[in-house]
Amino acid sequence: MENQEEVIRVRIPKKDQNEILGVIEQMLGASRVRVRCVDGKVRMGRIPGKLKRKIWIKEGDVVIVSPWEVQSDKKCDIIWRYTKNQVSWLEKKGYLKDLL
């Protein structure tokens, strides 16, 4: 039991639902953040109320974003924030090679 790795469940972005990975670059206030996404674009992200009440989001956090239907290259909603253990798992599996 000493050498066994802890099982970590990690939510992966769903391509069919237009979800992508991003890193919080800057907090803008009023539940708005600047997010650098895997596709190379920097978007204005909105933290929805149901997420804002549950978790704290700060600069440098890895998140899943969902670009808006309109202005998809400029605006997005944040739908998930990863913990430190989940981020290290994502790095190990190669999901963050374009981001960090």
Confidence at residue 2, expressed as pLDDT on a 0 to 100 scale: 45
Residues of the chain with pLDDT under 50: 1-4
Can you say whether residue 6 is alpha, beta or left, with left for phi > 0 and alpha for psi between -120 and 50 degrees?
beta
Chain centroid offset of residue 29 CA: 18
Whose tokens are 């978007």? That residue is 43
Confidence at residue 100, expressed as pLDDT on a 0 to 100 scale: 67
Residues 41, 88 contacting (CB under 8 angstroms): no
